[in-house]
Structures are given as structure tokens and as C-alpha cells.
Structure 1
């Protein structure tokens, strides 16, 4: 196995996986290498955990969509999913329609059995901003590593860091964001402001040792859900989730949502299609600050958004980490060398100056 030592380190250091715990591995079939990676994770996991399950499902084609039925069954068992289907709730959950989370939780708590202690999720399309992840971590105490767009080369860069130091910086930034009430971002082609008043920031430290801990691997960011109707201004981006754009595109925000997209890259057509299908996909969802000193790659947003000194702004779903917007779409866009001001009642702070942290 090519990556055995790195996977073992991930299990031991990042997840604190114990021999008496159960492990679930999930991925999709978007990229051919994911099947081989799944098998390597599985073989190493069998040496470290009493029981390991794995599942690979058909690509969903979009970040933020709920995992398919077979993943829910593998995780919770057939009984609760059948009950959710009989009640009409499962379809609404999968489609991110309006539903009572309390009703769903009640059924899952009553019927679910033998849940995994640890989940490693590395489908190409992200499961981070899903109710599936939220209910597992918040209500069942599962430790959850989300690794969308992960490529094995990341083991040699942003995964090979001092996680204690990444955690220290990430927690410090999260405290500042939580105290703040407003944010202003300036960069080349970007001048954007919005409110974060009353929202709680989260540090993605890469160390998921306590019940309910979750985040990305590679990790290294602090993030917060902006107030959904508060964003005004413009944001220019050079990269999509997995490639450099042919030419820059600019989002124009009004009342918290993307009112217009300017640019000629084909990605504009894709976003316009998403917005036509899901109006709430236009809504500002997240502000994140990168804290990983070994993150360098710019054409893969999983690593790019962790680059120390960058910020990223997402649109779409944020209901799983403190916001109220529920939609089957969430995508982050990285801003390089930003100058960022954060303030509250009677104070303001120069937080980043042209990509240099001021903390």
C-alpha cells in the first residue's frame, strides 16, 4: 500500500481512533483513484479498529447535496430510514426541503443502532454542509473528517504539519470572529462587507478527538456564518473549486445574495443554472480564514482555502454551522492577499493586511 503510513497517522493523530471503536469510510465514484484510496483506508483501518465498514456511491455532481439512501442505511440501519420514508420526511431531508429536524431526530434516536464512532468521508463532492453530517456530530457524537476533493499528494504537504500549532492559531482567530459584529474585505477586484453579529465561529483544527468534533482534512481554518441578508459589494475570483478560471469572474452582492455575476468563463453558466434551480444558492454562507502554513495549492479549494493569509467566502447552505440557509449547494471561493477589518461596538481591528495576519 502506497499511503499506509500516512493513513495510519491520520487515524492515530487526527482522529484518535481506538481499537474498540467502529469506523465508517465513505466516498463516491467521481474520480477513478477514489476506489483505490478507499481500499487503502479500509485495509489500514482493519488493523486499528474492531470493525470497519466502507461504501462507495454514485457521484452526486454537486457540493452540499445530502448523501444517497444507501449511505444513510449503512450509517443508521434500515429501520430508521424506512420509518423516515413512511413519514415522508426522508425525501424532504434528501432534497433539503423544509422539514422538522426534531421529528427526524426523534425517529433516528428511537430506531438507529450501532452507529460508527468515526467517519472518514472523502467523496469528491462535499458532505460537510449536510444534515447527515450535522445530525451525526451534533446529536450522536460521531467524530467526522470531511475530505472533499482530497488527493493523496496532500499527505506530503498540508497534512504534514504541527496540528497543535494549527489548532492554536485557528482557535485564536475563531475567538476574534465570534467577538466581531461586522467584516470588511478589500482585495484586487473585491470590496465586500457583511455582518457576523451574534454568530459563533468554528475552528477547524484537524484534531477530532472529542465526541462531535468535525472538520476538513487537510484542516486549517476558522469559519463563521455571516448574517444572510447583510452582504453588500463585490467579490472577484480567479479560481473555481478545482481549476483556474479562463478569466476572472465577479459576484455582485446586494441584501446578502449574489444579484449579478460578471465574466465570460463557462463557470458562470454553471452558476446561473444552479441559481435558477435553487434561488437560495445565491446567499452568502460563510467567511473562512486559512491557517495551514503548508497549504500551497491554488487549483483545489480543499487545500486552497486553508492557505495561511487567505480568506474565503462561500455561497449556499450554512444551516449546519450556525446559519439559517438550507439549500443543496455550498461552494467556497478564495480571496488572495486580502485586507480585512473586523469590528464590534466601539472597536475595530485590522485583522489581515494584504495577506498578513495581524493577531
Structure 2
């Protein structure tokens, strides 16, 4: 049904070429994503005969490292055996301190069949993982991360003018790079400020054709890792990653971390459980601005954070894109109709006013 759209994904977004190695994977959390990997494999074989499809048990948490099985299918069993022998694999999977240079050397020395292109269709995100970072930064793999993807997105936020999305995302990323602080407010009570001084804005353009490129598909945002200890104020959450909350909850930040959660909603207790298990998941991790004019759905985070006129704030892991917090959790929360100020020494710029992007 989506063969044409899948071919556009492969050729336009990822620039897949004859003879390149493609790895498409999903977890077993959602049947429709597993079935979509079959369609992608079939269409991709009309471009290259080097296609591998992998399904693995779900980690059930965004930002968690994928299991050993996927590492073996990606880098080869011998490379993973040596990581295990040196006690490194367990540390990587648990996001404990380890010698990244040694991990990379082993994978480069013993890795076999490492993909040129990855389509990551697992329900739970692999974007903020060492697995993705090693592939893109050290092997030059082009990596499309598509957590929470639904096939209908091919007809909406995947069907856009990617040149427009790319230019806007790059322009906004430059503003974030120049900025030193951000202030975010909304009509329903968001009032948050934090520092971005010294951090680099990153455009999520949807065009992943250059060596080592990575991003979401659907794409369309500019994002940055705030200074982890800098957030103060309140973030009111209207939506969990895949549903609207029955009652909003409020995260109160102090010294960069969530100090308290207010509101009666089941999702609150899910977050509290995560915080009990992973205290560093409390820290602010990301600030992003949506740039996709065809992104509309607020109840699917993959699409919602790309909605033009919204921003999003994440907590948890950010070590893979300029931050320093390493934890097996990363989740974004979208702010609707925001008024956003970015500023520095001697200047302040209104980036959005009540959900309207201002001229940059």
C-alpha cells in the first residue's frame, strides 16, 4: 500500500544506493511495525541486494540500549564476544561508565557487515543510545530513527517539502547555538527557563544522505541539550507519549531536575517509578522547536514534537547530542501555543509568540 512512499524514504530521505548494506529493525512491541519492516525489506531489494531485517524483544523504554542480539546482528558475533570478554558490553547496555575508545576499537577491528544505512523502526526510541552514536559517529552509518511510527504518517508529515523543512530547521538551530538562555511560557501554566550557553543547536532535517547523518522520520525540528543543572520553573504536561492525559500533571524543576510532580494521573506514577529506578532521569535533557508544516497529531510524540508552532522539553539522557547525562530513559513533552524567548548578552529574541513562529 505504501510502496511509493517507502521508496521515497529509501531514495530521498536516506539516499540508499545499489550495493549499500541496509539494516531495518523493529522490536516486537507492535505488530504493524514488524509488518512494515517486511514491506521495507521487499522494496529495498529493488535498490540493493544487501538487506538485513531484524526483530528483537522490546526494551519497553525510550533511550534504553538495544539488546545484545541486535548488536550481534549489526557488528557481528565475534566483535560482541570480545566486548563481553572484556566486561564492556554489560556496561554499555546498562549505561555505566566504560572506555568508549576501547569499545569502538574492538568494533572496528572485529566488526563484520556493519550497515551503511539503518532504519530503526522499534516502538521505543534508539536515538539516544551508544549503539546509534557509535554507528553514526564512528562508522558513518546513515540512521533514521522512527519510534512510535504509524504507517499513515507516510501521507502526512512524511509528505512534505523537505527542502523547506531543512532550511527552517537549520536556521532555528543557528539561533539556538547563538543563544545563552531560553524562557518558555504557555497559556496553561508552563513557565520554565534554562541555560543553553555553550551548547550546539542541531537541525533534524529529514535529509539523511550525508555520511553519519541521523535523525527522526518524520523529521522537522531544531533541538539542543540544555545545561543539565540549569532548569527552573514549571512544565505542565498535557500528553504522555501516546495519549492525552485525563488530567494535566506539573513537573517542577529546581537546579535542572524535577523536584516534584503534581496532579492526579496514572502517568505520574509511571514517572515516579522511573525516577526511583534512575534518579538522573529527572534532569532536563533537550529543548526543541517543531518545523514540520504537515505534522498535526498531538497524541503521538514522534509527530507531535515536529508540529510547527510547538516546542518540546525532554528529561533523561542527552549524552549523544552534546549533553553529559547518561541514563536509560529519554522522553519529550510538547508545549502547545508557547511563547519562547532566546537570549544572550545584550540581546533577546522572541522565537514564538502564542504558537506563532516569528521572523528569524
TM-score tier by shorter-chain length is over 0.9
Q: Deviations over 1:83-113 (max 9, x none)?
A: 1000101001001111121121121121112
Once the two structures are TM-superposed, the CA of residue 184 in structure 1 deviates from its matched residue by 0.4
CA drift of 1:345 comes to 1.4
Q: TM-score, normalising length from structure 1?
A: 0.99
- Quote how far apart the aligned CAs of 1:50 are: 2.8
Q: What residue in structure 2 maps to residue 255 of structure 1?
A: 255
Q: Which residue of 1 aligns with 2:308?
A: 308
User: How is 1:109-148 mapped onto 2 (pairs within 5 angstroms)?
Assistant: 109-148=108-147
Partner of residue 82, structure 2: 83
Q: Distance in 1 between matches of 2:25 and 2:34?
A: 10
Q: CA RMSD in A?
A: 0.7
Q: Give the corresponding residue for 2:25.
A: 26
- Cα distance in 1, alignment partners of residues 41 and 69 from structure 2: 18
Which residue of structure 2 lines up, in the alignment, with residue 41 of structure 1? Answer: 40
**2:239 — aligned with what?**
239
Query: Can you list the C-alpha shifts for 1:14-69, whole angstroms capped at 9, x where unaligned?
Result: 00110121100010111121221111011011111131001001111110000111
Deviation at 1:115, TM superposition (A): 1.0
2:270 alignment counterpart = 270
Secondary structure of 2:46's counterpart equals: helix
Specify the SS of the correspondent of 1:53: strand
TM-score (norm 2): 0.99
Partner residue, 1:217: 217
**Between Structure 1 and Structure 2, how many residues are aligned?**
358
Residue number in structure 2 paired with 1:174: 173
Match of 2:6 in 1: 7
Could you list the structure 1 runs, at least 4 aligned residues long, displaced by more than 2 angstroms after superposition: none
3-state DSSP of counterpart to 1:212: coil
Does the Cα contact within 8 Å between 2:33 and 2:149 map onto a contact in 1?
A: no
The separation in 2 between residues aligned to 1:118 and 1:93, in whole angstroms, is 22
In structure 2, the gaps of 5 or more residues are none
Shift of the alpha carbon at 1:143? 0.1
Q: 2:124 & 2:67 partners in 1: Cα distance?
A: 12
Q: Alignment partner of 1:126: what SS?
A: coil
CA distance in structure 2 between the aligned counterparts of 1:34 and 1:191, rounded to whole angstroms: 37
Which residue in 1 is equivalent to 2:325? 325
Aligned mates of 1:199, 1:35 — CA distance in 2: 37
**How far apart in 1 are the matches of 2:111 and 2:35?**
30
Q: Which moved more, 1:299-308 or 1:54-63?
A: 54-63
Deviation, structure 1 residue 231 = 0.3
Cα distance in structure 2, aligned partners of 1:315 and 1:322: 14
